[in-house]
Amino acid sequence: MTHIERDHTWPEISFQDRMDTVRFDVHERAHITVDGRTCEGCSTQACVVACPANLFVPTSDGGIVFNYEQCFECGTCYLVCNEEGAITWTYPDGGHGVVFRRT
Amino acid sequence: MSATAPIAVCLKWTPARLDGGPLGPDAADDRFAGISPADRAALELALRLADRLGTTVTAITAGPAGAERALRDALAAGAERAVRLDMATDADSRDVAFELAQSLADAAIVLCGDYSLDRGSGSVPAFVAHHRRIAQALGLVDIDVDTATAATVHATRRLDGGRRELLAIPLPCVLSVEGSLATLRRAPLPRALASRSAHIDVVATPPAHHHGAPAIVTAYRPRARVMPAPAGEVVLDRLRRLTDAGTAPSRGETVVLEPPAAAARIVDALREWGYLP
Amino acid sequence: MPETPDVDVIVVGAGPAGACASIELARAGLQVVLLERGPFPGSKNMYGGVVYPRILDELIPNWWDEAPVQRWVTRRSTMVLTPTQALTVDFRSTAWGAPPYNGATAYRPDFDHWLASHAEAAGAQVLCSTTVVGLLRDANGRVVGVRTDRPDGDLRARLVIACDGVNSFVAKEAGLHPPVDAANYTLGVKETLALPKEVIDERFGVRGREGVDIEILGGTGGVNGGGFVYTNLDTIAIGAVLKLPKLAAQKRRPEEIIAGLKAHPAIAPLVEGAELKEYSAHVIPEAGLAMMPKLTGDGLLVAGDAAAMCLAAGIWLEGVNFAMASGMYAGRAAIDAIRAGDVSTAGLAGYERRLSETFVLRDHRKLKRAPHLVLSDRVQHVYPELITSVAERMFRVDNPEPKPGLRRIVTSERKRLGIRRRDLARDGLDGFRSFG
């Protein structure tokens, strides 16, 4: 069984700088909402690891805080979420959300 | 002034959106072009005023064919007529204003956004007012019209220090509004669909009289200033100096002097605090 | 009395599938509305790098003269990585650098925008910034239109074609999808990195508009999936495709996995010193035929990623071509059905028939085992080391020891890695049945 564990010598930029390379036209309506109370009993909290935009933040009391503004609208969170109904997922209002340019 | 004279809204089409991060200036392309939030607020306000005064809205922009997208969006939102002055996006403000004034000779109110996406000098509204010899007001955060007479606009203007100025502006007039004033309504689907093939008046313009410097598309940034390095042996001390943390506020005083003396005192203080060389 | 339709066909989503469907429909003289939720077609789209546009021969002759292509892929590498080793199969063809070409790298916001402009030119009404939030149905459950997020936002049509991407809420609402299983999906994450064109040419050994596509097995930090590197004109794209349940279970963040890939000794020299221009992510319908929904409902067709028309079969990684083709065939089937006056599931049977007769479903049927095999634990975590260590021993000169035979090396490495002969034989047979 190989498991790649190596020193990351690559000079990584901060996650905020990484997200700053992406353009978002944020709408005032949150298109994804998370019921933090449901998350308190969640043992996996898979969304925290899997969300490529790192928008799910675990809180000290076991819940989840979610920010919708820099969302890629990819769907990973609701796909990995095993708590029925914890994530309410819609697309942002037309014309808003992520705008890719060189992808 | 007739209450049925149209309300005009001027939309500044800017080739590249400037909040695009490192790609911004490269992406000079209609996909990333648009109008400012202030222009959108002006359009929304024009639609509301037209509704109350029982008149219509004419949307106008100066630019190449690509700029018609802004006009189609305005038609979708409720504008009755759209006019494009066929000009380059970097045309001189004086030429743009002259052509706008010609096309908008009958407008009761000319609404503009307070700033464009490329943060220009804001000179076009002033030139339009000049050409039409009518009043101009800018930096407006609230507008109301007496519908009975439709002769005067009552507006609130933002001043420094949180103050407001109340203005009574005789019609016709040119008004520039801030982006926070109103959120542009969402265009209904039937109008949005119809706008894709709607008619747009294209006005050919004569060769430019003025040849301004080409617009340089750069992000808006406040001016940099030199700060002296904070004194202190250890990092914590220097941080304290930088942030004033844990100390009584050392800066700031109220100057009660005659204007010339007050100006001199302010300059001295700014120099002392490192804001001026 | 049923309400009269506003238009003939509504196409949801202006990606490659929606654009090609609209081109066909509009050219046949039908009234088409193409709805796109982004501010322009392509603005929501991202992929793992290469488009194979030959299917466009049928829609846009000499498409290569006008398509917004970054580079033509003339060099195709498949790389197997372990932490310290890399084995690459590297193929080049000058034929792929001239019409009709083979694969191309392109930015989707450019490519999809261009393709949708052909739909508009053909007469389709393209309306952007409009999100479809639901379906309109009649008393019998037939789809008769869509509800958008605009005021007064209902639009009726004889037929709706759902090309609304991998999350396809339209096809889901119509009940065409089986229950969603995260195991059928992968997450694609990508960095677009800027380097001067000359530096890219030099590092990747190409000239002019020639480009490179490198597909990578291993190097994804223990998460089942794969990696990719490919060249645009003055940027490099590097990214990973990650199996969703594994990603969550391994507790590795997607950007850490890209960082690991970039730090690999075989990759680092290619991307060193490049500046991050854009980070992006998208979900991929990875499981192919195994996750494909019903493609037809009463008054509804599904195409592109919405129908899981994405071929993730190891050495073949395609999607845009399947989207374009399925959209085109959906358009043709819709034309027939509308002309015949029957848009029921039966009347739309021409869609699935066309897909079955062409590469779209034939490739998927032939390769139905491939996605599972490629993402299996042995292929992901054991075989890369088997392959690279066999290569290392083959090429190592161990004098004064004499050279061992290949068979002896394979047997001893297989035993060292604890691979049962039976599993190797079965996977080999699976691979042969898929790829052979």
Could you report the per-residue pLDDT of C298-350, keeping only the tens digit for each?
999 999 999 999 998 877 899 999 999 999 999 999 999 999 999 999 999 99
What digits encode the pLDDT tens for the residues B129-142?
999 999 999 999 99
Taking CB atoms and an 8 Å limit, are A12 and C166 in contact across chains? Answer: no
Task: Give residue A7's pLDDT.
Answer: 47
CA distance C298 to C307: 16
Task: Give residue A44's pLDDT.
Answer: 85
- Residue partners of B255: CB distance under 8 A and separation at least 6: B262, B265, B266
Which chains, if any, share at least 3 CB pairs under 8 A with chain A?
Answer: B, C
> Phi then psi for C177, rounded to 5 degrees?
-90, 140
Report the candidate in B2, B44, B13 with the shortest Cα–Cα distance to residue B200: B13
Write out chain B's pLDDT in tens, 277 residues: 445 789 999 999 988 654 444 444 444 578 888 999 999 999 999 999 999 999 999 999 999 999 999 999 999 999 999 999 999 888 888 999 999 999 999 999 999 999 998 877 789 999 999 999 999 999 999 999 988 887 899 999 998 888 899 999 999 999 999 999 999 999 999 999 999 999 999 999 887 676 555 555 555 566 676 777 888 888 888 888 777 776 666 567 788 899 899 999 989 988 887 777 7
Residues from C contacting B (CB-CB < 8 Å) are: 33, 39-40, 43, 109, 113, 125-127, 130, 148-155, 275, 277-278
How close A14 comes to chain C (CA, Å)?
11
Q: How confident is the model at residue C221 (pLDDT cuts 50, 70, 90)?
A: confident
Taking CB atoms and an 8 Å limit, are C127 and B187 in contact across chains? Answer: no
Residue in B23, B190, B197 closest to C152 by CB:
B190
Check if the beta carbon of residue C294 is closer than 8 Å to that of residue C116. no
Structure tokens at C119: 């739909």
How close C131 comes to chain B (CA, Å)?
11
CA distance B61 to B72: 11
pLDDT (mean) for C359-380: 92
Share of chain C above pLDDT 70, in %: 100
- Residue partners of B120: CB distance under 8 A and separation at least 6: B12, B93, B215
Chain A residues within an 8 Å CB radius of C385: 2
Taking CB atoms and an 8 Å limit, are C278 and B23 in contact across chains? Answer: yes
CATH 3.40.50.620 in chain B, residue ranges: 7-204
Report the candidate in B102, B69, B89 with the shortest Cα–Cα distance to residue B198: B69
Q: Which residue of B has its CA nearest to A23?
A: B20
Q: Which of residues 47-76 of A touch C (CB under 8 A)?
A: 49-50, 52-54, 72-76
How close A45 comes to chain C (CA, Å)?
8
Amino acid at C103: G
CA distance C284 to C182: 11
Check if the beta carbon of residue C152 is closer than 8 Å to that of residue C2. no
Taking CB atoms and an 8 Å limit, are A23 and B19 in contact across chains? Answer: yes
Taking CB atoms and an 8 Å limit, are A72 and C282 in contact across chains? Answer: yes
State whether residue A26 sits within 8 Å of chain C by CB: no
Chain C residues within an 8 Å CB radius of B22: 275, 277
**How many A-B residue pairs are in contact by the CB < 8 A criterion?**
16
How close B119 comes to chain A (CA, Å)?
19
Domains in chain C: boundaries: 7-70+106-177+293-367, 184-285, 376-435
Task: Give residue B217's pLDDT.
Answer: 53
The alpha carbon torsion through C6, C12, C18, C24 (nearest 10 deg) reads: -20
Task: Give residue B89's pLDDT.
Answer: 83
Measured CA distances, C20 to C77, C159, C166, C397 (Å):
30, 16, 17, 56
State whether residue B23 sits within 8 Å of chain A by CB: yes
pLDDT (mean) for C171-180: 94
Residue in C113, C151, C277 closest to B188 by CB:
C151
Tell which wins on pLDDT, C172 or B209: C172
State whether residue B65 sits within 8 Å of chain C by CB: no
Q: Which of residues 27-86 of A touch B (CB under 8 A)?
A: none
Q: Which residue of B has its CA nearest to A27?
A: B183
**Is the C-alpha dihedral spanning B232, B235, B239, B245 positive or negative?**
negative
Q: Which residue of A has its CA nearest to C81?
A: A4
What digits encode the pLDDT tens for the residues C393-428?
999 999 999 988 899 999 999 999 999 999 999 999
Taking CB atoms and an 8 Å limit, are B196 and C125 in contact across chains? Answer: yes
CATH ID of C184-285, from 3.30.70.100, 1.10.1060.10, 3.10.20.90, 3.30.9.90: 3.30.9.90
Q: Which of A42-46, C13-17, C111-115, C140-144 has the lowest mean pLDDT?
A: A42-46
CATH of segment(s) B7-204 = 3.40.50.620
Q: What is the DSSP string of C153-199?
A: -EEEEEEEEE---TT-HHHHHTT-SPPP-GGGEEEEEEEEEE--HHH
Residue in B188, B196, B197 closest to C150 by CB:
B188
CA distance C237 to C45: 15
Residue in C126, C150, C278 closest to B189 by CB:
C150
CA distance C355 to C367: 15
Task: Give residue B27's pLDDT.
Answer: 45
Report the candidate in A85, A33, A24 with the shortest Cα–Cα distance to residue A53: A24
Residue in B19, B21, B186 closest to A21 by CB:
B21
pLDDT (mean) for C219-231: 93
Share of chain C above pLDDT 90, in %: 90
| C7-70+106-177+293-367 classified as CATH 3.30.365.10 | no
Stated as kind and residue range, the H or E segment containing C349 is helix C349-357
- CA atoms within 13 A of residue C42's CA, in its CB half-sphere: 21
**Topology, domain A15-97:** Alpha-Beta Plaits (3.30.70)
Task: Give residue C314's pLDDT.
Answer: 77
